[in-house]
Amino acid sequence: MNYIVPEDRLIELLTAELNLTALERGGVDNWSWYGDSIEDYLNLMSEENNHNFEDYEELAEFFVEKEFKKEE
């Protein structure tokens, strides 16, 4: 399935992905509080959106449906 994404949002998403990749390559995913931070964020997003998100993939799918228009 394809989605129409505004160019500025696509650049924002790719920038965030590159930033995360750089941080993880630098060892951020080995920090003792890394998992706690992820869990805290998922809990916050679950509360704000009245949905129980188990992982980032589920959260991302939720935002894709909410934010982007499907290409017909």
Q: What is the pLDDT of residue 28?
A: 85
Alpha helices for 1-72 (secondary structure H)? 7-25, 34-49, 56-67
Q: Which domain holds residue 19?
A: 3-70
> How many domains does the chain divide into?
1
In sequence order, the 6+-apart residues with CB closer than 8 A to the CB of 28 are: 34
Q: Is 45 exposed, middle or buried (0-12, 13-18, 19+ CB in 10 A)?
A: middle
Tell me: pLDDT of 71 over 80.
no
Percentage of the residues of the chain whose pLDDT score is greater than 70: 99
| Residue 52 banded pLDDT, cuts 50, 70, 90 | very high
Rounded to the nearest integer, the mean pLDDT of the chain is 90
Question: pTM of the full predicted structure?
Answer: 0.71
Residue predicted with more confidence, 51 or 72: 51
> Over the range 11-26, which residues count as b (16 or more CB within 10 Å of their CB) and which as e?
eeeeeeeeeeeeeeee
Q: What is the pLDDT of residue 72?
A: 66
